Amino acid sequence: MRKTRALAAAGAAVAVLGVAAPVAVADGGRVANPSNIVAQPGVIARGGQLTITVDGCPHGGHATSNAFQRTNLTPLNNRNDTARGTATIDDNARPGPYDITVHCSGRSLTRPAAFTVIGGVRGGIGGSSTTGATPTDMAIGGSLVAAAVAGSGFFWMRRRAEKRI
C-alpha cells in the first residue's frame, strides 16, 4: 500500500515537471511572469509622462491603458528581469483612476487603479472660475463687509465711552 502511494506521488511530480520544463527551456531556463507593475508618478495630469516599471519581463514587452497609447517596455541593463517604458497621458483622458495591462513573454498582467489622472487648472484667470461673482455672491460679501464695519464702529464707540468715566 505504501509503495503505491509513493509511486503515485512520484508520477504526479514527474508529470508536473514534464509540463513545466518546455516553458522554462523556452525562456532560458526561467519562467518569465510579469509582476510588480509600478507607475510613477501615481497622480498625473493630462499630457504628463508616466514611467512604467515591470519586474519579471526580461525580454521587454508593451503596456496598454485607456489613458495612453500602447507603450513599448525595454529591458534594463543593470537589472535582470526588469523592463521600463515611458507613456504620455492623452490630452483627452478623463480624470480618475486607470488600469495598466502589461504583456511580456506571451503573458499578461493587469494592475487595477495603477495611477490617477487629474484635471488641469486654468492658470492666470483665477483658478477654475470663468464666470466671475454672481449677484448673490456680491450681496453676501457686501453684507459681511457692512456687518464688520458696523461691529467695529460699535466696539470703538463703546471703548471711547468707557475712558470718560
Q: What string of pLDDT tens digits covers the 165 residues of the chain?
A: 455 654 444 444 444 444 444 444 444 555 568 888 999 999 999 999 999 999 988 888 999 999 999 999 999 876 678 999 999 999 999 999 999 999 998 899 999 999 999 976 555 555 555 556 788 888 999 999 999 999 988 888 777 666 665
Distance CA 14, CA 104 (A): 28
H or E segment and range at residue 9 = helix 2-26
Q: Which of 33, 80, 26, 78 is nearest to 58 (CA)?
A: 80
What is d(CA 85, CA 53) in angstroms, rounded to the nearest whole number? 7
Separation CA 33–CA 109 (nearest Å):
8
Which pTM value belongs to this model? Answer: 0.56
